[in-house]
Chain A
Amino acid sequence: MSIQGWTFLIVGLSFALYIGIALRARAASTKEFYVAGTGVPPIANGMATAADWMSAASFISMAGLISFLGYDGSVYLMGWTGGYVLLALLLAPYLRKFGKFTVPDFIGDRYYSSGARVVAVFCAIFISFTYVAGQMRGVGIVFSRFLEVPIGTGVLVGMAIVFFYAVLGGMKGITYTQVAQYCVLIFAYMVPAIFISLMISGHAIPQLGLGGEVAGAGVALLDRLDGLHEQLGFSPYTGGSRATIDVFFITAALMVGTAGLPHVIVRFYTVPRVRDARSSVGWALLFIALLYTTAPAVAAFARVNLIETVEGAHYEETAGGENERSLPAWFRTWEDTGLLAWVDKDGDGRVAYRSGAVFAAREGQRKVAPVFTGERGAHGERLLANEPTANRNELYVDRDIMVLANPEIARLPNWIVGLVAAGGLAAALSTAAGLLLVVSSAVSHDLLKRSLLPSITEAGELKAARISAALAVCVAGYLGVHPPGFVAEVVAFAFGLAAASFFPAIIMGIFWRRMNREGAVSGMLVGIGFTAAYIIHFKFVRPEDNTPENWWLGISPEGIGTVGMLINFAVAAVVSRFTPPPPEQVQELVEHIRIPKAARTSARDDG
Chain B
Amino acid sequence: MREARPRHEAYWRANIRILAVLLSIWFTVSYVCGILLVEPLNQVRIPLTGFKLGFWFAQQGSIYTFVVLIFVYVRLMNRLDDEHGVSED
Q: Could you tell me which A residues sit within 8 Å of B by CB distance?
A: 66, 71, 73-74, 77-78, 81-82, 84-85, 88-90, 93, 207-208, 210-213, 220-223, 238-239, 244, 247-248, 251-252, 273-275, 278-279, 281-282, 285-286, 289, 292-293, 296, 514, 581, 584, 587, 591, 594-598
Most buried by B among A584, A594, A596: A596
Most buried by A among B2, B34, B35: B35
Report whether A275 and B66 are in contact in the complex, using a CB–CB cutoff of 8 Å: no
18 A-B pairs in the complex with CB atoms less than 8 angstroms apart: A71-B38, A77-B62, A77-B63, A78-B58, A93-B77, A220-B50, A222-B50, A223-B50, A274-B88, A275-B81, A275-B87, A282-B67, A292-B63, A293-B64, A591-B8, A595-B86, A596-B81, A597-B87
With a CB–CB cut-off of 8 A, which chain B residues contact A587?
1-2
Give Cα A102–Cα B89 distance, bound, in whole angstroms: 25
Give Cα A598–Cα B70 distance, bound, in whole angstroms: 23
Most buried by A among B19, B34, B74: B74
B73 CB contact (under 8 Å) in A89, A223, A596:
A89
With a CB–CB cut-off of 8 A, which chain B residues contact A88?
70, 73-74
Given contacts A238-B42, A285-B66, A296 and B60 within 8 Å (CB-CB): yes
Report whether B8 and A595 are in contact in the complex, using a CB–CB cutoff of 8 Å: yes
Give Cα A208–Cα B12 distance, bound, in whole angstroms: 41
A289 CB contact (under 8 Å) in B58, B63, B81, B85:
B63
Report whether B88 and A211 are in contact in the complex, using a CB–CB cutoff of 8 Å: no
A89 CB contact (under 8 Å) in B4, B22, B56:
B22
Given contacts A221-B50, A596-B88, A275 and B69 within 8 Å (CB-CB): no
A247 CB contact (under 8 Å) in B22, B35, B51:
B35
With a CB–CB cut-off of 8 A, which chain A residues contact B8?
591, 594-595
Report whether B58 and A222 are in contact in the complex, using a CB–CB cutoff of 8 Å: no
Q: Chain B: interface residue count, which band? A: 35 or more
With a CB–CB cut-off of 8 A, which chain B residues contact A207?
60
Report whether A74 and B58 are in contact in the complex, using a CB–CB cutoff of 8 Å: yes
B59 CB contact (under 8 Å) in A274, A278, A285, A296:
A296
With a CB–CB cut-off of 8 A, which chain B residues contact A289?
63-64, 66-67
Give Cα A285–Cα B31 distance, bound, in whole angstroms: 19
Give Cα A71–Cα B34 distance, bound, in whole angstroms: 10
Q: How many Å from the CB of B82 to the closest CB on chain A?
A: 10
A78 CB contact (under 8 Å) in B5, B15, B62:
B62
Given contacts A90-B19, A285-B67, A289-B66, A598 and B31 within 8 Å (CB-CB): no
With a CB–CB cut-off of 8 A, which chain A residues contact B60?
207, 210, 293, 296
CB-based closest 7 A-B pairs: A220-B50, A211-B49, A74-B58, A282-B70, A296-B59, A211-B51, A597-B86
With a CB–CB cut-off of 8 A, which chain A residues contact B63?
77-78, 81, 289, 292-293
Q: Could you tell me which B residues sit within 8 Å of A by CB distance?
A: 1-2, 4-5, 8, 11-12, 15, 19, 22-23, 26, 30-31, 34-36, 38, 42, 46, 49-52, 55-56, 58-60, 62-64, 66-67, 69-71, 73-74, 77-78, 81, 85-89
- Given A73-B59, A78-B58, A595-B11, 12 new contacts (CB under 8 A): A78-B34, A78-B62, A84-B70, A85-B22, A85-B70, A88-B70, A220-B49, A275-B81, A275-B87, A293-B59, A293-B60, A594-B12
Report whether A89 and B59 are in contact in the complex, using a CB–CB cutoff of 8 Å: no
B88 CB contact (under 8 Å) in A221, A247, A275:
A275
Give Cα A247–Cα B74 distance, bound, in whole angstroms: 30
With a CB–CB cut-off of 8 A, which chain B residues contact A252?
31
Most buried by A among B8, B15, B49: B49
Which residue from chain A places its CB closest to the CB of B62 in the assembled complex?
A78
With a CB–CB cut-off of 8 A, which chain B residues contact A251?
30-31, 35
Most buried by A among B12, B23, B50: B50
With a CB–CB cut-off of 8 A, which chain A residues contact B51?
210-211, 222
Report whether B52 and A238 are in contact in the complex, using a CB–CB cutoff of 8 Å: yes
A275 CB contact (under 8 Å) in B2, B5, B31, B77:
B77
Give Cα A251–Cα B58 distance, bound, in whole angstroms: 11
Given contacts A289-B63, A296-B60, A596-B81, A584 and B2 within 8 Å (CB-CB): yes
Report whether A85 and B52 are in contact in the complex, using a CB–CB cutoff of 8 Å: no
Give Cα A203–Cα B72 distance, bound, in whole angstroms: 30
With a CB–CB cut-off of 8 A, which chain A residues contact B46?
211
Which residue from chain A places its CB closest to the CB of B80 in the assembled complex?
A596
Report whether A597 and B23 are in contact in the complex, using a CB–CB cutoff of 8 Å: no
Given contacts A222-B50, A293-B63, A82 and B77 within 8 Å (CB-CB): no
Given contacts A282-B74, A285-B66, A89 and B23 within 8 Å (CB-CB): yes
Report whether B88 and A238 are in contact in the complex, using a CB–CB cutoff of 8 Å: no
Give Cα A208–Cα B30 distance, bound, in whole angstroms: 20
With a CB–CB cut-off of 8 A, which chain A residues contact B69?
85
